[in-house]
Structure formats: structure tokens, C-alpha cells
Amino acid sequence: MKAIVAGTLLLCTFALVKGEELQCSHKQEELKTDPNWTDMKHSCINSMRTQIQAELRAAMQYLAMGAHFARDTVNRPGFAKMFFEAASEERQHAIKLISYLLMRGELISDVSTLIDSYIGVEKTEWESGLEALKNALQLEAQVTKKIKGVVKVCEDQPGPNDWHLVDYLTGEFLEEQYKGQRDIAGKVSTLSKFMDKHGALGEFLFDKKLLSGEL
Amino acid sequence: MKVFAVVVAFLVAVATAHESCYSQVDQACSKINSKPGLDQELIPCNATYGHINIVTKDLINFANTHIVRSFEYLLMATHYGNYQMNRAGFEKLFRGLSDEKWHEAIELIEQITTRGGVMEFVPPKALNGVEKTNNVYQLYEIQSVAKALDMEKKLALEAFNIHKEASGRSEGKHDPEISSYIEKEFVHDHAKTIRKLAGYVTDLKSILSGPDGSLGLFLFDEYLQKQ
Ligand SMILES: [Fe+2]
């Protein structure tokens, strides 16, 4: 009994001497090799990482479009709303890709370099709503092409075809890309028909329809 | 001499004419063959008034800081989502902060344009001189909360600074619309977030000085998941 008391006292003193020291790190299970359960290949992982950046770059470009059409001397709140929403959507795409990699046991290391510390935008002004919509369509077509590039890498990599990721990208991501592109293409034609005879008035009406979600 | 006086009078007239939107529109309407707004922008007809110009640059920087912070919080959340860290509660905490900064960035852009400003996409001052090391967002639980607390305090001080710039009544730098906006949208929320994070650091400190930090972190993470 005395021994226990003495032992406890010793422990307490030890803690006191140690003062504010905290045990911040704890045991980490290293499951990478034993058992070997993660099976994504390097080239495929890297192309996914690049795609995450590409989605965020698209988000930033849409943010710039929103900022332009929100200006007092541009005054197209419908366009601004549409582009701000598109920006948040692109950010969600990046998050979905991150979640996928996490699900597959990736992003254990090199997380800090996954996103550049600053992502700039290429263009900040547009002549008209029509020009911006055409730009958006081009941007989406480029993203689609890049996703196909990821699919190709993850199919043809040395080692087995990554069926599950390829299925996810073609089934979910490309589906959304094609629907999105169809939607923008439709808006481009409607707007150019509006503007054919009515120019500024056409854009004004189109903008208000965008704002109230009637397109 | 007379000619000079006439010229001066003319110049003064032109200058005052340009100060009002109405007079510029009026002038443009009287030129039968020119349409207003086509060959020249109607400069006094924009939305700027008051002392917005003093704070526009700061608001732009503030918006850009939010974008950068949003991505940083996203990386911190990602780290806690991996199977080794496996802390869904911490992941949720940082994802929430990331979402919040992103939406505030959009709101700031809208505020800048509401007051006739033009958003610029440039690296914020917060990035100056910060060298990005490899592990900067892969932190232990208490470290990441401490980092978030520092980040939030810096944002709060940036908001204070904008507020100060817009409140210099005596120096003629008075823009109550901006100071009220900063108060309503940022100042009070910052106080709540900072208090919350400081409280988390307090709890984590006592948990980690206890006998079983690992179990403590598990329970704390579970608590965060329910927040
Ligand atoms: Fe996307």
C-alpha cells in the first residue's frame, strides 16, 4: 500500500515538473503495406490531383465572371448570380474528387501541396453576356477534356485498369459535364436569338429571366 | 485677358457639369446624333459615393484573403478525412470554416460592386513572405485548432482595420454604410468563432495533459461531429 502511494506521488511530481507539456502526437497505424489495401496507382493519383486544381481554377474563373456582371456599370445581376453559383459548383467538384481520394485511402501525405497557395484568374472583363456564356461553354469543354484525360490515365496505367474510379468519372462527372454544357449551349442560342433584332434589350430581358430562374 | 477669363469660365462650367449625372445625361441627350453611354461612359452615373474609395483596396484584399483561407481550411479538413487521422469531427469543423470563408468571399465581392467598386483578383497581403512548407496543413489536432484561432484573429483585425478606415469622421473619411456592413456581417461572428476555437484549445489542452490523450481526442472528435 505504501509503495502504491509513493508511486502515485512520484507520478504526480513528474507531471508537475513536466508542466505544460502536452502529448499531441499519438500512435498512427501504418496500413499502407501491411495489410496492403490501397491500390490506386501513382500516375492516376497525380492526374486526379491535377484535376482538383483544374476544378478550383474553373471556380475562380467563374468568380471573376460573377464579379464582372455584378458591377454597377455592367448591371447584369442574373448573369452574376448564375456565375457565382457556377463558381460554388466547381468548388464542390473539387471537394468531391478529394472525398473520392480519401475513400480510396489516399491523401495520407502531401496534402499541403494539393492546392496552390494562390489561384489566379485569366480574364476579368467581358464585352457582353453572350461572350461570357461562350467563354463558359469553352471552359466546360476544356474541363470535360481534362476529365477524359484522367479516365485515360487511370485506364491505361501500368497495372490494372482502375474500373471503379473510371466508372465514377464517366458515370457521375462526365454526365454532369454534358448536362451542364447542353444547358449553357442552349442559353447561348436563346440569348443570341434575343439579341439578333433587339441587342441591348435582348440582353436586359435575358438577364432578368436568369435572375428569376425562368431559363 | 478677357479670352482667358472666358476660357476659365468655360472650363469651370465643364468641370461642374461632369460632377452630376443629370447634367451629363442632359448634355448627351442634346447631341442629337450621339447616344449616351456609347462613345463615353457616364462617369458620374456610377454607384460610387461617400468615402468608398478609401476602403475599396482593403475590401478587395479582404475578399482575396477569404478565398485563400477557404482553400487552406479545405486542406486542413482533407487531412482529418484520411483514414489515418480519421477524425470526422475535426474534418467537419474545418470544412465548415472553409465553406464559410468561400461564401463570405462572394458576399464581399457583391458588397464591393454594390458600392461601385471593381473586384480585383490578386494575392492577398496575408500571403506576403509566407513560404509554403510541405507539412503546413498536416497538423496534430490541437495544433490545427490553434492555427485556426490565429487565422480567425487575423481576419478579425483586418475587419477592424477596414472599420477604422471607414470611420474617420474628423478626417472626412466617413462611410457609415461600410462600417455598419463590417459590423453586421463580420465583427460579431468573428468574436463568436474566436471564442469557440479558444474554448476548444482550452479543452484539448486539458485532455492532452491527462493520462489518455488518444481516447480523449476520440471523444472530443465525437463531440465536434455533433456540433
Ligand atoms: Fe467541374
pLDDT in tens, A78-121: 999 999 999 999 999 999 999 999 999 999 989 999 999 899 99
Confidence of residue B170 (pLDDT cuts 50, 70, 90): confident
Dump pLDDT digits (tens) for A189-198. 999 999 988 8
> Is A53 labeled as ligand-binding?
no
Closest CA to A45 of A146, A133, A162: A162
- Tell whether the model's pLDDT for residue B216 goes beyond 60: yes
d(CA B180, CA B50): 14
Same-domain pairing of B119 and B26: no
Split at pLDDT 50, 70, 90, the class of B35 is: low
The DSSP element (H or E) to which B174 belongs, if any, is strand B173-174
For chain B, the domain total comes to 2
The pLDDT mean for chain B works out to 87
**Judgement on whether residues B6 and B62 belong to the same structural domain of the protein:** no
Question: Could you state, in order of their start, the residue ranges of all structural domains in chain A?
Answer: 37-212
| One domain for residues B171 and B123 | yes
Q: Give the domain extent around B174.
A: 52-225
DSSP chain A: -HHHHHHHHHHHHHHHHHTT-----------SSTT------HHHHHHHHHHHHHHHHHHHHHHHHHHHHTSTTT--HHHHHHHHHHHHHHHHHHHHHHHHHHHTT--SS--TTSS-S----S----S-HHHHHHHHHHHHHHHHHHHHHHHHHHHHSSSS--HHHHHHIIIIIIHHHHHHHHHHHHHHHHHHHHHHHHHHHHHHHHHHHHHTT--
User: Which amino acid belongs to residue B114?
Assistant: T
Residue A33 confidence (pLDDT) = 60
Interface probe for A, chosen from B67, B84, B120, B208 (most Cβ of A below 10 Å), is B84
Q: For residues B125 and B221, state if they share a domain.
A: yes
To the nearest 10°, the Cα dihedral for A70, A71, A77, A79? Answer: -70
Write the residue in B78, B102, B217 that is nearest to A98 by C-beta.
B78
Ligand 1 centroid to residue A122 C-alpha, Å: 17
Cα A97 from Cα B175, distance rounded (Å):
43
Which CATH class, in words, describes the domain spanning A37-212? mainly alpha
**A118 vs B contacts (CB less than 8 Å):** 68, 123, 127
Of B114, B136, B214, the CB nearest to A112: B136
Q: Is the pLDDT of residue B3 over 90?
A: no
So what's the pLDDT on residue A15? 41
Residues B116 and B34 in one domain: no
Average pLDDT estimate for B7-29: 65
CA distance A93 to A77: 24
Give residues with Cβ within 8 angstroms of B119, minimum separation 6.
Answer: A64, A67, A70, B60, B63, B109, B112, B113
**Whether residue B7 is found in the same domain as residue B33:** yes
Helix and strand numbers, DSSP H then E, in chain B = 8, 2
Give the C-alpha separation, A51 to A85, whole Å: 20
Return d(Cα B224, Cα B202) in angstroms, integer: 14
**AA letter at A135:** N
Q: Is A55 annotated as a binding residue?
A: yes
- Regarding whether B164 and B87 lie in a shared domain, the answer is yes
**From its phi and psi, is residue B129 left (phi > 0), alpha (psi between -120 and 50) or beta?**
left
* Minimum CA–CA partner of A115 in chain B: B71
Residue B41: list chain A partners with CB under 8 A.
73
In this structure, the answer to whether residues B38 and B68 fall within a common structural domain is no
Query: By CA distance, what is A108's nearest residue in B?
Result: B82
Q: Check A106 against B134: CB less than 8 A apart.
A: no
Q: Say yes or no: B99 and B163 in one domain.
A: yes
Residue corresponding to grid cell 472650363: B11
Q: Name the residue among A121, A119, A126, A136 with its Cα closest to residue A70.
A: A126
Distance CA A25, CA B219 (A): 16
Tell me, in angstroms, the distance from the centre of ligand 1 to residue A45's CA. 18
Helical axes A129-156 vs A42-69, angle rounded to 10°: 170
Q: Are residues B76 and B12 located together in one domain of the fold? A: no
CATH number (domain holding residue B88) = 1.20.1260.10
Residues B9 and B63 in one domain: no
Residue A211 has what pLDDT?
97
Mutate to test the interface with B, among A112, A113, A124 (most CBs of B within 10 A): A112
In terms of average pLDDT, the best of A17-31, B67-81, B165-179 is B67-81
> Does residue A140 have a known ligand-binding role?
yes
Nearby residues of B35 by Cβ (< 8 Å), 6 or more positions away: B28
CA dihedral B187, B189, B193, B198 (to 10 degrees): 40
Is there a single domain that holds both residue B78 and residue B137? yes
Q: Of A21, A70, A108, which has the smallest distance from its Cβ to B109's Cβ? A: A70
C-alpha cell at A41: 496507382
Indicate yes or no: CB of A102 within 8 angstroms of CB of B140.
no
Q: Is the pLDDT of residue A55 over 50?
A: yes
